Amino acid sequence: MVGVDLSTYVFDYDLTMAILLMNADGRIYHQYGNRDASGPESHLSMESLTRVMRGGLEDHAAYSPGKIGKAMKEHSVEELPTMAERVKSGKAPKCFHCHMVNQAHDELALRKKRFDPSVAWRWPGAKQVGIVVDRDDQSLVAEVFDGSTAAKAGLRAGDRLVTMGARRVRSEGDLQWVLENTSDRGASVPVTYDRGGETDRAVLKLAKGWREGDAKDLWRSSMWRLSPKPGFGGPPLKPAEKEKLGIDVESFAFRVNYIVTWGANSYTGRNAEKAGIRKNDIIVSVAGKSDFESMHHFHAWFRLTRKIGEKVPIEILRNGKAKTLTLKTVE
């Protein structure tokens, strides 16, 4: 990423793979490579990539150069404040990677002593408006969630998206691009689609806060920087272990095998110890919740839903005996 103009090559820097189909004048036709919490390859397939590339060639052939939009000042990752300081001090890495763009932005945010949780929902996917597209044919709507924004707009499974906003839709990444550039304060986004060979129009009416999703869907590594942090964690119990301990096998429970008493976040571990958390404790529920789908879900939920200074009840089993502890969260 050395010297790459971040105002021209715009994409989600958290992705494992991002592909831009663009003109030499800077016009981005399409973006490919989105993902969700199920894994980095959730939206990737050779068939869908081939479709996007073929569509991109068609759009390139029909392209008429014009005004691209408001020009942004060119800037590169090594010019971002915290990275620029490393360059100046001679401590910069020899190679800059995509994830370092997020790292530089996050480091700057942390200097303000409060990491903005809204960045957890940057580059929202189509699911945020109630649409699931086909993995191999990403302009084809595979599912529309009942009661969602898309459903209220009249979209159905089987519709083929043609445009969203001003973007020709060839991929999930195209939908993501439009949504990323749509205000979280609420907006109306026009959509054209093909249904049974006839083109129709719809309007997605997005309410204030529409970007925010469920904690279980948060896959970004930046989640770990959010506060408050529990200060402890460990492996989920297997069904046989829960059964032996008399815990409902359908409930989520985990054994504490680490308390964060090292590094910059050591204060969170000390806070957990102050609340009475000990290694080998079995965490049965947190604030009455015991339906976490994974440890990642637990950590994301804790950071997104708990407030600084809140007293969080934690039910544990220690040596076979039930006990309720109270953890007062810290910044």
**pLDDT tier at 81, thresholds 50, 70, 90:** confident
Asked if the structure places residue 222 within a domain, the reply is no
pLDDT at 279 over 70: yes
Residue 199: what are its φ and ψ, rounded to 5°?
Answer: -90, 135
Which of 116, 135, 167 lies at the terminal end of a domain, its last residue? Answer: 116
Which of 53, 82, 116 lies at the terminal end of a domain, its last residue? Answer: 116
If asked whether residues 109 and 180 sit together in one domain, one would say no
Asked if the structure places residue 184 within a domain, the reply is yes
If asked whether residues 93 and 138 sit together in one domain, one would say no
If asked whether residues 189 and 105 sit together in one domain, one would say no
- How many domains does the chain contain in total? 3
Residue 101 has what pLDDT?
86
Q: What is the mean pLDDT of residues 161-190?
A: 95
What percentage of the chain reaches a pLDDT higher than 90?
69
Higher pLDDT: 237 or 110? It is 237
Residue recorded with tokens 């990423």: 1
Asked if the structure places residue 194 within a domain, the reply is yes
Asked if the structure places residue 272 within a domain, the reply is yes
133, 139 in Cβ contact below 8 A?
A: yes
Please give the Cα distance from 120 to 330 (Å, whole number). 20
The mean of the pLDDT values for the chain is 92
Task: Please give the distance of CA 70 from its chain centroid, rounded to a whole number.
Answer: 27
If asked whether residues 139 and 106 sit together in one domain, one would say no
If asked whether residues 105 and 25 sit together in one domain, one would say yes
Q: Are strands 232-233 and 254-255 parallel, antiparallel or unpaired?
A: unpaired
Residue 115 has what pLDDT?
63
Please give the Cα distance from 127 to 45 (Å, whole number). 19
Residue 257 has what pLDDT?
96
If asked whether residues 234 and 320 sit together in one domain, one would say yes
pLDDT in tens, 264-273: 899 999 999 9
If asked whether residues 46 and 99 sit together in one domain, one would say yes
CATH of the domain at 143: 2.30.42.10
Spatial CA neighbour of 110 closest among 237, 247, 265? 265
Asked if the structure places residue 214 within a domain, the reply is no
Asked if the structure places residue 213 within a domain, the reply is no
Asked if the structure places residue 216 within a domain, the reply is no
If asked whether residues 256 and 322 sit together in one domain, one would say yes
CB atoms within 10 A of CB 254: 19
HSE-CB of 197 using CA atoms within 13 angstroms = 0
pLDDT in tens, 178-220: 999 999 999 999 999 999 999 999 999 999 999 998 999 998 8
pTM: 0.86
If asked whether residues 234 and 323 sit together in one domain, one would say yes
Task: Note down the domain range covering 305.
Answer: 227-328
Give me 18's structure tokens: 């991002």
Q: What is the mean pLDDT of residues 31-59?
A: 94
Q: Which of 107-111, 223-227, 253-257 tops mean pLDDT? A: 253-257
Which of 71, 96, 116 lies at the terminal end of a domain, its last residue? Answer: 116
Asked if the structure places residue 219 within a domain, the reply is no
If asked whether residues 69 and 92 sit together in one domain, one would say yes
